[in-house]
Amino acid sequence: EVHLLESGGGLVQPGGSLRLSCAASEFTFSNYAMNWVRQAPGKGLEWVSAITGSAGSTYYADSVKGRFTISRDNSKNTLYLQMNSLRVEDTAVYFCARASTVVAPRNLDYWGQGTLVTVSS
Partner 1 sequence: QSALTQPASVSGSPGQSITISCAGTRNDVGAYNYVSWYQQHPGKAPKLMIYEVSNRPSGVPDRFSGSKSDNTASLTISGLQPEDEADYYCSSYTRRSTLVFGGGTRVTVL
To partner 1, the closest distance from the beta carbon of 72 in angstroms equals 17
Does residue number 107 form part of the binding site for partner 1 (CB under 8 A)? yes
Near partner 1 by CB under 8 A: residue from 12, 20, 114, 115: 114
Q: How many residues bind partner 1 (CB under 8 A)?
A: 25
* 96 contacts: CB under 8 Å, gap ≥ 6: 4, 6, 20, 22, 24, 34, 35, 36, 37, 79, 111, 112
Does residue number 61 form part of the binding site for partner 1 (CB under 8 A)? yes
d(CA 73, CA 65): 21
In the beta sheet, which residues pair with residue 23? 5, 78
CB closer to partner 1 out of 29 and 94: 94
Does residue number 27 form part of the binding site for partner 1 (CB under 8 A)? no
Does residue number 111 form part of the binding site for partner 1 (CB under 8 A)? yes
DSSP class of 13: -
